[in-house]
Amino acid sequence: MILVTGGAGFIGANFVLDWLAVTNEPVVNVDKLTYAGNLENLASLQGDTRHVFVQADIGDSTVLAALLQQHQPRAVLNFAAESHVDRSIHGPEDFIQTNVVGTFRLLEAVRAYWSGLPADAKSAFRFLHVSTDEVYGTLGATDPAFTESHNYEPNSPYSASKAASDHLVRAWHHTYGLPVLTTNCSNNYGPLHFPEKLIPLMIVNALAGKPLPIYGDGQQIRDWLYVRDHCSAIRRVLEAGRLGDTYNVGGWNEQANIDIVKTVCALLDELRPRADGKSYAEQIRFVQDRPGHDRRYAIDARKLERELGWKPAETFDTGIRKTVQWYLDHPEWVAHVQSGSYRDWVLQQYSAQEPA
């Protein structure tokens, strides 16, 4: 059995679904169910005895200790995080509480559990921490991509909180011997992505006839990773990663934000044309850039390929087509997440901005 935190969110839910699709090993899924945690993501697992869902906060040490003792997992995978840069700018405290304090309490609960395991189980146990490339800061146009030895230079409250959590995980390995693994991924996209992030926001706004807001000049570059490729990478690191090591996970898909949006518009033009026959690209609006906006991220994932034999299965062309089609095929999921408490904030921030 494994225990997953944050397993009702975007990446966590995709991981749980993929895990149970390729193995019969049960999952205890712990999620606080904040606005981005959505049980609809796990609807296909209703009645599946391999999936045990527990609504709880990783900051609750008592609950964590009880769950670990009750279920005796062989591994803990930490997906739980506040992850939206814009929200971290507007309200950084939640990010400190979840990403820093929550990770600390989770590490302490796991350390206490691991310390009491029999020798064989203790040796086989793993704690895998899922992190982001944003901890490395920003790159110039011609800089080489981030490697695992790149300096940490976080530029937003979100990335600073994730950097802090990475350092805690490293310290718990070197100080206490906790058998940890860390992955730092590039920008994920795919099914179940909450529509505050670029790609799902563009799809949802386009279909609703709303503006498609692009920060600044739209030339910010990201390396895009299809979420199910990310899930396969995590499974591989859990299986064979070297203890205490870090693995960068990327899609080898560097693209500017404006090009991403134009690609989404072109796919929607093909798959769900506007009634007036015009392109969705006419809805694009350039808006004032956000503070401290990193210009470029790029992941060098060669270590993961060289040491563990992993590489992404999807190109951006195949992954983005699957993503757009998924949103077109699941309007009920979109309607559900848009009806939550976060709806007003999303509408205020992204639906009615004027061009910069």
Residues assigned a catalytic role:
133-134, 158
Contact 181, 245 (CB under 8 A): yes
The contacts of residue 214 (CB under 8 Å, 6+ apart) are 257, 258, 261, 284, 285, 286, 287
Could you tell me which of 291, 315, 336 has the C-alpha nearest to residue 155?
291
Which candidate, 88, 28, 48, places its Cα nearest to that of 293?
88
- For the chain, helix (H) and strand (E) counts, in that order, are 14, 12
User: Do the Cβ atoms of 269 and 206 come closer than 8 Å?
Assistant: no
Closest residue by Cα to residue 31 from 67, 62, 55, 66: 55
Q: Please tell me the distance from the alpha carbon of residue 132 to that of residue 127, in angstroms, as a whole number.
A: 17
By the 8 A CB rule, do 356 and 289 touch? yes
Cβ count within 10 A of residue 148: 17
Rounded CA separation 320/222 (Å): 14
